[in-house]
Amino acid sequence: MNSDVKVALIGCGRISGHHARSIISLVGVDLVAVCDLDLEKARAYSDEFGVNAYQSYHQMLNEHPEINIVSIATPSGMHYEHALEIITRYKKHVIVEKPTFIKPSQVREIYSKAAEFGLKVFAVFQNRYNKAVTRVLQGLSDNELGSVRTLAVRVRWCRPQRYYDLAAWRGTFAMDGGCLTNQGIHHIDLMRKMGGEVKRVLSIHRTLGVDIEVEDIVTALIEFESGAIGTLEVTTAARPHDYEASLSLVCENGLAQLGGIAVNELQIYSPDPEACENFSEDFSGNVYGNGHAKMYGDIIKCFSDGIEYPVTMMDTLGTIQLLNSFYLSDESKDWQLIAKGGDSNRLGRFDEGLAQLYRTHVITKDIID
């Protein structure tokens, strides 16, 4: 290992395997060690990638002082606690899997603590790197599409009861959030990225397909600061399998529609119809896509060339503030102004019993996004 970017993974579920394979595919970054409460899962990655496996990240970081970045893929509700400890106690940079942090207040504190110690936080929103997404963003930036008039998000995925029964953290407000936080977060992020900042939302949440405390169906109306309007439909109550994750924009100069299983296909692009074939990717068998490797490429550039990581603190905060505003709207049964919002009363509420399950060591986040 001879790079300046040396990464450890905590949480050895499916998504961490994707991180590991992305790291070993690149020059300029090394995978040093992996950690999980389920040592057998850590050992599986240890065998596959030829690195040391640990059950305690404290032991891992003490035995490998060369590690300078820790990738956190533990249950969502533990991201804040794990990141805070890794930053303040071990003085390491952190990569944080979606949804990054559950509450806006947590985003502010973690980024502030990192800045205090001269460290960086790298938020993971890998769908921003999809070819279809980059083409539409280019069209918006170049004014090829013109101003956005209306935008629609639709996610129709399937998560049956057996999915939530696999681990105590799933389907809880404390550790997981429902379809909006766990599955819809990427699309909320892209909605902001493409449509601009949101002024207010009116959101209705229901739990109809499974026995959990969080939502599995959300519909919402959205008013953007620009005056554009939008709709959002996110559900994990589709049966019997995943159907689509789409995002469409009706703009001043044309229409753009992204679809496929994870906004990986450019299905309509009226200013340049030939772009649809050139900017679509096949995500069959890999809902995570190809964005993690590109993300690590940007992390390498951050350290080697001083290029700012594209997902800034304000960017992350904007997405998590918007996420919480959907919950606040459902809680108040009224429109929620984003600027006057804060932490949801339910999302990320503290649960000592659950937290104890995932403290000191880490447990897998073995999920399908």
Please report the pLDDT score of residue 360 as a whole number: 63
Please report the pLDDT score of residue 307 as a whole number: 97
Residue stretches of the chain with pLDDT short of 70: 1-2, 360-369
Strands 229-235, 121-123: parallel, antiparallel or unpaired by DSSP?
A: unpaired
Please report the pLDDT score of residue 288 as a whole number: 84
Q: 53 with 34: CB under 8 angstroms?
A: yes
Nearby residues of 186 by Cβ (< 8 Å), 6 or more positions away: 98, 125, 126, 127, 245, 262, 263, 369
Please report the pLDDT score of residue 365 as a whole number: 44
| CA dihedral over 113, 89, 37, 346, signed as positive or negative | negative
Can you point out the beta strands (E) in the chain?
Answer: 6-10, 30-35, 52-54, 69-72, 93-96, 121-123, 148-156, 198-206, 217-224, 229-235, 244-251, 254-259, 265-269, 336-337
Q: Which two tokens stand for residue 24?
A: 């070993």
Taking alpha carbons only, the member of 330, 81, 318, 364 closest to residue 214 is 330
Please report the pLDDT score of residue 287 as a whole number: 79
Please report the pLDDT score of residue 364 as a whole number: 43
Taking alpha carbons only, the member of 71, 289, 320, 295 closest to residue 185 is 320
The CA distance from 217 to 180, in Å, is: 8
Would you put residue 50 in left (φ > 0), alpha (ψ -120 to 50) or beta? left
Superfamily the domain 128-281+313-349 falls into? Dihydrodipicolinate Reductase; domain 2 (3.30.360.10)
Domain ranges of the chain: 128-281+313-349
Please report the pLDDT score of residue 245 as a whole number: 96
Backbone phi and psi for residue 219, each to the nearest 5 degrees, phi listed first: -130, 145
Please report the pLDDT score of residue 285 as a whole number: 76
Please report the pLDDT score of residue 138 as a whole number: 98
Q: Give Cα separations from 209 to 76, 91, 177 (angstroms).
A: 22, 43, 15
pTM of this prediction? 0.95
**pLDDT, tens digit, 9 for 90 and up, residues 174-213:** 999 999 999 999 999 999 999 999 999 999 999 999 999 9
Q: In the chain, what percentage of residues exceed pLDDT 70?
A: 97
**pLDDT, tens digit, 9 for 90 and up, residues 221-250:** 999 999 999 999 999 999 999 999 999 999
